[in-house]
Amino acid sequence: MLKARESKGKILSFFLTNWWIGAFILMAIALYAQALYQKNQLASLLQKKAELLKKEKELAIRDQEQLKLRIKSEEDPEWALLVLKQRLGVVEEGETKVIFKKRSQ
Per residue in 28-78, pLDDT (tens digit) is 999 999 999 999 999 999 999 999 999 999 999 999 999 988 888 777 778
Domain ranges of the chain: 9-87
Amino acid at 3: K
Please provide residue 72's backbone torsions phi and psi, each rounded to the nearest 5 degrees: -65, -40
Q: What is the model's pLDDT at position 39?
A: 98
Q: Residues 2-10: what's their mean pLDDT?
A: 70
Higher local confidence (pLDDT), 65 or 102: 65
Q: What is the model's pLDDT at position 56?
A: 98
Exposed/middle/buried for residue 85 (C-beta within 10 Å: 0-12, 13-18, 19+): middle
Q: What is the model's pLDDT at position 5?
A: 66
Gyration radius of the chain over CA positions: 40
